[in-house]
Amino acid sequence: MTDTDTTPAPIPAGPEVIKNFVRTLPSAPGVYRMLDENGEVIYVGKARSLKSRVTNYTRPEGLSVRIQRMIMATVSMEFVRTETEAEALLLEANLIKRLKPRFNVLLRDDKSFPYILIATDHEAPELTKHRGSRRRPGHYFGPFASAVAVSRTIASLQKAFLLRNCSDSFYAARTRPCLQFQIKRCAAPCTREISLEAYGELVEDARLFLTGKSQTVRDHLQTDMASAAENLDFERAALLRDRLSALAHIQSQGDATAKSVEEADVFAIHHEGGQFCVQVFFFRAFQNWGNHAFRPKADDSLSDAEVLEAFIGQFYEDRTPPRLVLLSHEMSEPDVLEEALRTRAGYKVRVETPQRGEKRDLVNHALQNAREALGRQLAEGASHRALLEGVGEIFGLEETPRRIEVYDNSHISGTNAVGGMIVAGEEGFSKKHYRTFNIKSTDITPGDDFGMMREVLTRRFTRLAAESETDAEDEQTGMPDWPDVVFIDGGAGQLNAVKEVIAELNLPKEVTFIGIAKGEERDAGREKFFMEGKDAFMLPHRDPVLYYVQRLRDEAHRFAIGTHRARRKKDVVKNPLDEIEGIGPTRKRALLNHFGSAKAVARASLMDLESVPSISKAMAQLVYDHFNRT
């Protein structure tokens, strides 16, 4: 009798698997996905001819090591045929951003840039800052690289064009002009201090200015100012003078101007130390509206041009491109990229790699910024790695920690209690991974820091154990999901409480917990450290690791305090209408539009409440009873 071998047969993978798909593939454009043995997508690519492109993967000899590893990990493939190669490029970018395959170039730090919006869905268009999808009717100008730049520009635009920036409900409730009118930052169309027709002319002037027709607007204002002076209307002439001054201030804010480039995004990439940095500058209305440095995740074997091409496809996946895109490196298929961007924008988009002139100067400026930004990142990364190595050495860890978490609580006599968690790693503080915990337990005595820390850690590690493998990482940042070290603000008592929690949870991964007790008289530099199995100890006064841990602790304290204050402030300004069950955003808006304020709603009679559109008699009775309890 012979034993039966129950070892499962290996799953077929590599070139032989890919050859089976090639036989049935069309010579047409499309997108292909390569999957590993776990069913996860490891690569997404586009092709002018699916058959030709995928055939290349059946002959791995001569391909880069990265591609060979990808081929050998492939056990299955999926395909989507498209009408054009441009459609394939758009679909590829969408799938890469959604699936984040590990062998693709990944756009990290995919932030949403703010815009200036002149909303046209109201009788008096509003000037406001906007983020997110552009569904609201109006004129969008941007993107700006920072919210600060948008706020500063809006303030100057208010002085120059006197456009309102109040909400529609605030506008509807006005019976007299607000402070913005008094300080000459709004023309007050709400109370008809200006007619809607004249206000519309201001809106048109603002639109022209933001689209680059600044000289036309300036000439118009100068003519009106001269006319007002001739007619001895010196008050109006002074107002027009102030508006001209505000326009000049806006135009002087840009770091650089472009005489021949009205609207363009400028991309430049630099590669050093196995990392890439893409610098993007936004030029609108001949002005530099800011820049931002991105650090895409890509294999070191890829060329700058390959990384930049993949980056741009993802960058415009959910953004509207300008009419001109300037690049530091030549694309292999610029015509395909132009067609894809035209499809997304609805108008012609030119993609250029300039060799001379002002456009080349703009690209060189972006390239210099990319080089300097990556240099700073590499220097900071080396410094942070050295500090993490110091932490591992001083606290006796088996390996250098990659993720450190620090916890702190904040409250006032137990009210509005919150717990804060900050995270640090090789690139410094990782604010994307910060977390807050509103203390929910009713069994905790107000002010019981031990109880609050118990709840925070129980919630944190229970969820982590349920949702994440011990070796999982953030696809975008490379930050591990599990901490190697956890610092707790407190001494032996806090650490013992933590040990009890962790013992009950039976974590699948070992985590080192360290308590930090403040020095005598809370003196920084005299902190004591508590670890399981060791006596309390202190670090040398000038030790860099001590300074680093102090920074971590102070950041956790700052974050917890800030979150607590924000929650307390929210409670203070909470709208009384929010406490009424059944009053949602639509009904609340109807009541506020009708009465002007929550205080006026509270004083209203039942008959007045019943007269509000969309408020039924039963709902009016509910609101009236809420504010008139005996």
CA 470, CA 474: separation in Å to the nearest integer?
12
Are residues 537 and 459 part of one domain? yes
Residue 239 has pLDDT above 80, yes or no: no
pLDDT of res. 5: 53
Are residues 551 and 423 part of one domain? yes
Which long-range contacts link 343-351 to residues 24+ away (Cβ below 8 Å)? 343/86, 343/87, 343/90, 344/90, 344/316, 344/320, 345/320, 345/321, 347/323, 348/323, 349/321, 349/322, 349/323, 349/324, 349/325, 350/323, 350/324, 350/325, 351/325, 351/327
Residue 455 has pLDDT above 70, yes or no: yes
pLDDT of res. 370: 92
Query: 477, 304, 311: which is closest to 381 by C-alpha?
Result: 477
Are residues 494 and 355 part of one domain? no
Q: Find out whether 226 and 244 touch, Cβ atoms under 8 Å.
A: no
For the stretch 4-25, pLDDT in tens is 555 555 667 788 889 988 888 8
Question: Angle formed by the axes of helices 234-251 and 214-230, to 10°?
Answer: 160
Are residues 155 and 272 part of one domain? no
Identify the CATH number of the domain in which residue 67 sits.
3.40.1440.10
pLDDT of res. 206: 85
pLDDT of res. 445: 65
Length of the chain: 630
CA 477, CA 44: separation in Å to the nearest integer?
20
* In the block, residue with structure tokens 């002009």: 177
Q: Average pLDDT for residues 34-54, to the nearest whole number?
A: 91
Q: Average pLDDT for residues 457-478, to the nearest whole number?
A: 82
C-alpha atoms less than 13 angstroms from C-alpha of 180 in its C-beta half-sphere: 22
Are residues 161 and 70 part of one domain? no
Q: In which domain, by residue range, is 87 found? A: 15-99
Q: Rounded to the nearest 10 degrees, how much is the dihedral formed by the CA atoms of 441, 445, 446, 452?
A: -50
CA 280, CA 266: separation in Å to the nearest integer?
6
* Direct distance between the N- and C-terminal alpha carbons of the chain, in angstroms, rounded to an integer: 90
Q: Find out whether 398 and 442 touch, Cβ atoms under 8 Å.
A: no
The strand pairing partners of 116, in sequence order, are 129, 141
pLDDT of res. 348: 92
Within a domain: 460: yes
Q: Is 520 exposed, middle or buried (0-12, 13-18, 19+ CB in 10 A)?
A: exposed
**Residue 582 region, left (φ>0) first, then alpha (ψ -120 to 50), else beta?**
left
- Residue-wise burial string across 197-224, b where 16 or more C-beta atoms lie within 10 A, e elsewhere: eebeebbebbbbbbeebbeebbeebeeb
Q: Find out whether 494 and 466 touch, Cβ atoms under 8 Å.
A: no
* In the block, residue with structure tokens 């409730």: 173
Are residues 168 and 134 part of one domain? yes
pLDDT of res. 533: 83
Within a domain: 429: yes
At residue 490, φ and ψ (nearest 5 deg) are 160, 175
For the stretch 187-235, pLDDT in tens is 999 999 999 998 998 898 888 888 766 667 777 777 778 877 777 777 7
Q: Average pLDDT for residues 386-408, to the nearest whole number?
A: 91
Are residues 425 and 345 part of one domain? no
Residue 144 has pLDDT above 50, yes or no: yes
Secondary structure (3-state) at 521: helix
Q: Average pLDDT for residues 119-148, to the nearest whole number?
A: 86
Among 337-346, 465-474, 519-528, 558-567, top mean pLDDT goes to: 337-346
Within a domain: 388: no
Residue 475 has pLDDT above 80, yes or no: no
The strand pairing partners of 284, in sequence order, are 263, 287
The residue from 197, 223, 251 where one domain ends is 251
Mean pLDDT of the chain: 84
Q: Find out whether 349 and 342 touch, Cβ atoms under 8 Å.
A: yes
For the stretch 513-528, pLDDT in tens is 999 887 655 555 678 8
The strand pairing partners of 408, in sequence order, are 420
- How large a percentage of the chain has pLDDT more than 90? 23
Identify the CATH number of the domain in which residue 285 sits.
3.30.420.340
Among 480-489, 536-545, 598-607, top mean pLDDT goes to: 480-489
Tokens linked to 1: 């009798």
- Residue-wise burial string across 500-516, b where 16 or more C-beta atoms lie within 10 A, e elsewhere: ebbeeeeeebeebbbbb
Residue 66 has pLDDT above 80, yes or no: yes
- Peptide bond before residue 143 is cis, with ω within 30 degrees of 0: yes
Residue 265 has pLDDT above 50, yes or no: yes
CA 143, CA 487: separation in Å to the nearest integer?
40
Query: 317, 300, 308: which is closest to 103 by C-alpha?
Result: 300
Task: Report strand pairing: 275-284 vs 287-294.
Answer: antiparallel
For the stretch 287-338, pLDDT in tens is 888 888 898 888 888 899 999 999 998 898 878 899 999 999 998 888 999 9
- How large a percentage of the chain has pLDDT more than 70? 90
For the stretch 335-352, pLDDT in tens is 999 999 998 888 899 999
Domain count, the chain: 5
Q: What is the DSSP letter of 520?
A: G
CA 377, CA 510: separation in Å to the nearest integer?
31
Are residues 246 and 158 part of one domain? yes
Q: Average pLDDT for residues 361-377, to the nearest whole number?
A: 90
For the stretch 543-557, pLDDT in tens is 888 889 988 988 988
Are residues 594 and 563 part of one domain? no
pLDDT of res. 86: 87
Residue type for position 572:
V
Query: What sign has the CA pseudo-torsion 333, 339, 345, 350?
Result: positive
**Residue 274 region, left (φ>0) first, then alpha (ψ -120 to 50), else beta?**
left
Are residues 203 and 74 part of one domain? no
Q: Find out whether 420 and 559 touch, Cβ atoms under 8 Å.
A: yes
CA 15, CA 332: separation in Å to the nearest integer?
26
How many angstroms separate the Cα of 461 from the Cα of each of 434, 438, 465, 467, 514?
A: 14, 16, 6, 10, 16
Residue 256 has pLDDT above 60, yes or no: no
Q: Average pLDDT for residues 258-279, to the nearest whole number?
A: 88
Within a domain: 145: yes
Identify the CATH number of the domain in which residue 613 sits.
1.10.150.20
Are residues 304 and 207 part of one domain? no
> At 253, is the pLDDT very low, low, confident or very high (cuts 50, 70, 90)?
low
pLDDT of res. 1: 44
Query: 277, 282, 291: which is closest to 370 by C-alpha?
Result: 277
Q: Average pLDDT for residues 460-466, to the nearest whole number?
A: 88
Q: Which of 259-268, 416-425, 435-444, 496-505 has the lowest mean pLDDT?
A: 435-444
DSSP letters for 541-594: TT-HHHHHHHHHHHHHHHHHHHHHHHHHHHHHT--GGGGSTT--HHHHHHHHHH
Among 114-118, 351-355, 462-466, 521-525, top mean pLDDT goes to: 351-355
The residue from 71, 99, 127 where one domain ends is 99
Residue 249 has pLDDT above 80, yes or no: no
Are residues 410 and 370 part of one domain? no
pLDDT of res. 492: 85
> At 575, is the pLDDT very low, low, confident or very high (cuts 50, 70, 90)?
low
585 versus 295: the higher-pLDDT residue is 295
630 versus 452: the higher-pLDDT residue is 452
Task: Report strand pairing: 485-489 vs 512-517.
Answer: parallel
CA 42, CA 70: separation in Å to the nearest integer?
7
The residue from 375, 390, 416 where one domain ends is 375
Which long-range contacts link 609-612 to residues 24+ away (Cβ below 8 Å)? none
DSSP letters for 182-246: HTTS---GGGTSS-HHHHHHHHHHHHHHHTT-HHHHHHHHHHHHHHHHHTT-HHHHHHHHHHHHH
C-alpha atoms less than 13 angstroms from C-alpha of 406 in its C-beta half-sphere: 23
